[in-house]
Structure 1
Amino acid sequence: MMKVNAGRGKRAGDNDAGEVKRARQAPERPLVTPAVVLVHPQLGENIGFAARAMANFGLSDLRLVAPRDGWPNDKAIAAAAGAVAVVDRATVYDTIEAAIGDLNYVLATTARPREMVKLVLSPETAAAALRERASAAERTGVMFGAERSGLDNDAIALADAILTAPVSPGFASLSLPQAVLLFSYEWLKCQSPKALGRITTFDGPALEGTPTPDTWPATRAELFGLFEHLEGELDRSGFLRPPEKRPSMVRSIRNMFHRMGVTEQDVRTWRGIITALTRRPPSRG
Structure 2
Amino acid sequence: MPSDTPQPAFVLVRPQMGENIGAAARAMWNFGLDRMRIVAPRDGWPNPKADAMASGAGRLLDEAMLTDTLEGAVADCTYVFATTARQRGLTKPVYSPEEAMRVAAQKIAGGEKVAVLFGPERAGLENEDIALANAIVSVPVNPDFPSLNLAQCVLLTGYEWRRNTAEVTALAHELAGTDWANASEMAHLARHYEERLEEAGFFFPAAKAENMKVNLRNLWSRMPLTRADVQMLHGILRQMVRWKERGG
Q: TM-score normalised to the size of structure 2?
A: 0.88
Match of 1:217 in 2: 180
Give the deviation of 1:70 after TM superposition.
Answer: 1.5
Which amino acid counterpart does residue 220 of structure 1 have in structure 2? A
Aligned length: 245
Match of 1:274 in 2: 237
RMSD: 2.4
Match of 1:239 in 2: 202
Give the deviation of 1:241 after TM superposition.
Answer: 2.8
Secondary structure of 2:55 counterpart: helix
**Residues 1-285 of structure 1: pairs in structure 2 closer than 5 A:** 31-194=5-168, 208-279=171-242
Greater relative contact order: 1 or 2 (C-alpha under 8 angstroms, separation 6 or more)?
2
Give the deviation of 1:58 after TM superposition.
Answer: 0.8
Secondary structure of 1:82 counterpart: coil
Check conservation: 1:31, 1:137, Cα contact below 8 A.
no
Structure 2 residues not aligned, in runs of 5+: none
Deviations 1:153-204 (A, max 9, x none): 2221222221122222332211111111111122223333337xxxxxxxxx
Structure 1 residues not aligned, in runs of 5+: 1-29, 196-206
Q: TM-score normalised to the size of structure 1?
A: 0.77
* Change beyond 3 A, Cα 1:139–1:243: farther
Which amino acid counterpart does residue 109 of structure 1 have in structure 2? T
Bigger Cα displacement from structure 2, 32-41 vs 241-250: 241-250
Deviations 1:214-238 (A, max 9, x none): 3222221211111111122122212
Check conservation: 2:14, 2:119, Cα contact below 8 A.
yes
- Tell me the distance in 2 between the aligned counterparts of 1:248 and 1:91: 72
* Change beyond 3 A, Cα 1:67–1:268: same
- Tell me the distance in 2 between the aligned counterparts of 1:282 and 1:234: 15
Taking only the aligned residue pairs, the percentage that are identical comes to 45
Deviations 1:251-285 (A, max 9, x none): 4433443343112222222112212212365669x
